[in-house]
Amino acid sequence: MFFKLRKHPKKQYIYAVTAGYYLGELLVYIETDNQVYKFLSLPEMLVREIPIEKFDIGIQNKIVDVVEKIPNHVYKMCKLQYSKNSVQTTV
* Residue 3: inside a domain: no
**pTM, to two decimals:** 0.85
Domain carrying residue 42: 13-90
Q: Please name which of 46, 60, 47 lies closest in space to residue 18, comparing C-alpha atoms.
A: 60
* Residue 41: inside a domain: yes
Does residue 75 have a pLDDT over 50?
yes
Domain count, the chain: 1
- The pLDDT of 3-11, averaged and rounded, is 67
CATH number at residue 29: 2.30.30
Q: What percent of the chain has pLDDT over 70?
A: 89
